[in-house]
Amino acid sequence: MFAEHLAGYFTDFGETVTLHGLAVSAIFDDAGTTVLNGEVATTQPQITLTTYDVDNSGAVQGSFCIVRGVTYKVAIPPAEGRDGTGMSVLQLERQ
Protein backbone atom coordinates (compact mmCIF):
# COMPACT_ATOMS: atom_id res chain seq x y z
CA MET A 1 0.00 0.00 0.00
CA PHE A 2 1.12 3.58 -0.60
CA ALA A 3 0.25 5.01 2.83
CA GLU A 4 2.89 7.72 2.79
CA HIS A 5 1.63 9.04 -0.54
CA LEU A 6 -2.06 8.87 0.40
CA ALA A 7 -1.64 11.21 3.38
CA GLY A 8 -0.46 14.04 1.13
CA TYR A 9 -3.25 13.41 -1.34
CA PHE A 10 -5.90 13.90 1.34
CA THR A 11 -4.07 16.89 2.84
CA ASP A 12 -4.26 18.62 -0.53
CA PHE A 13 -7.73 17.55 -1.70
CA GLY A 14 -9.61 16.11 1.29
CA GLU A 15 -11.87 17.45 3.97
CA THR A 16 -12.89 16.10 7.35
CA VAL A 17 -16.09 14.07 7.34
CA THR A 18 -17.66 11.95 10.07
CA LEU A 19 -18.06 8.29 9.11
CA HIS A 20 -19.86 6.07 11.60
CA GLY A 21 -18.88 8.48 14.39
CA LEU A 22 -15.19 8.76 13.42
CA ALA A 23 -13.64 11.88 11.90
CA VAL A 24 -11.74 10.92 8.74
CA SER A 25 -10.26 12.74 5.77
CA ALA A 26 -12.11 12.13 2.52
CA ILE A 27 -12.75 13.63 -0.88
CA PHE A 28 -16.44 14.38 -1.40
CA ASP A 29 -18.11 14.24 -4.81
CA ASP A 30 -21.66 15.54 -4.79
CA ALA A 31 -24.36 13.94 -6.93
CA GLY A 32 -24.40 15.18 -10.47
CA THR A 33 -25.88 14.81 -13.92
CA THR A 34 -23.86 14.48 -17.09
CA VAL A 35 -25.15 14.53 -20.64
CA LEU A 36 -23.02 12.70 -23.22
CA ASN A 37 -24.23 12.12 -26.77
CA GLY A 38 -27.82 12.76 -25.68
CA GLU A 39 -27.60 10.20 -22.84
CA VAL A 40 -28.21 11.43 -19.30
CA ALA A 41 -26.17 9.82 -16.53
CA THR A 42 -26.69 10.64 -12.87
CA THR A 43 -24.33 9.82 -10.06
CA GLN A 44 -24.84 9.45 -6.35
CA PRO A 45 -22.84 11.47 -3.87
CA GLN A 46 -19.73 9.60 -2.80
CA ILE A 47 -16.60 9.90 -0.71
CA THR A 48 -13.15 8.62 -1.54
CA LEU A 49 -10.98 7.73 1.45
CA THR A 50 -8.39 5.23 2.58
CA THR A 51 -9.53 1.66 3.06
CA TYR A 52 -7.80 1.84 6.45
CA ASP A 53 -10.19 4.62 7.53
CA VAL A 54 -13.20 2.64 6.31
CA ASP A 55 -12.08 -0.41 8.29
CA ASN A 56 -11.09 1.64 11.34
CA SER A 57 -14.50 3.37 11.44
CA GLY A 58 -16.42 0.07 11.42
CA ALA A 59 -18.79 1.49 8.79
CA VAL A 60 -21.26 -0.88 7.18
CA GLN A 61 -24.07 -0.46 4.68
CA GLY A 62 -26.56 1.89 6.35
CA SER A 63 -23.95 3.66 8.50
CA PHE A 64 -24.21 7.42 8.66
CA CYS A 65 -21.75 9.86 7.16
CA ILE A 66 -21.85 13.60 7.81
CA VAL A 67 -20.35 15.82 5.12
CA ARG A 68 -20.52 19.63 5.26
CA GLY A 69 -23.29 19.38 7.86
CA VAL A 70 -25.46 17.09 5.71
CA THR A 71 -26.26 13.54 6.84
CA TYR A 72 -25.91 10.72 4.33
CA LYS A 73 -26.24 6.96 4.63
CA VAL A 74 -23.71 4.49 3.17
CA ALA A 75 -25.66 2.99 0.25
CA ILE A 76 -23.64 -0.14 -0.52
CA PRO A 77 -21.45 -2.42 1.58
CA PRO A 78 -18.04 -0.72 2.02
CA ALA A 79 -16.26 -3.85 0.77
CA GLU A 80 -17.72 -3.20 -2.70
CA GLY A 81 -15.95 0.19 -2.84
CA ARG A 82 -12.41 -1.18 -2.39
CA ASP A 83 -10.15 -0.82 -5.39
CA GLY A 84 -7.15 -2.85 -4.18
CA THR A 85 -4.81 0.15 -3.89
CA GLY A 86 -5.64 1.13 -0.32
CA MET A 87 -8.43 3.46 -1.44
CA SER A 88 -12.18 3.00 -1.17
CA VAL A 89 -15.17 4.80 -2.65
CA LEU A 90 -18.38 4.81 -0.63
CA GLN A 91 -21.65 5.56 -2.39
CA LEU A 92 -23.93 7.72 -0.25
CA GLU A 93 -27.65 8.49 -0.08
CA ARG A 94 -28.86 11.81 1.32
CA GLN A 95 -31.09 11.51 4.38
Half-sphere exposure of 85 (CA within 13 A, CB side): 9
pLDDT in tens, the chain (95 residues): 454 567 777 888 899 999 999 999 999 999 876 777 777 777 889 999 999 999 999 999 999 999 999 999 999 999 998 988 889 999 999 98
Q: For each of the domains in the chain, give its residue range(s) and CATH number, in order of start.
A: 3-94 (2.40.10)
CB 39 within 8 A of CB 73: no
20 in helix, strand or coil? Answer: coil
CA distance 94 to 25: 19
Which of 46, 50, 48, 47 lies closest to 6 in space, CA to CA? 50
Note the pTM of the prediction, 2 decimals: 0.84
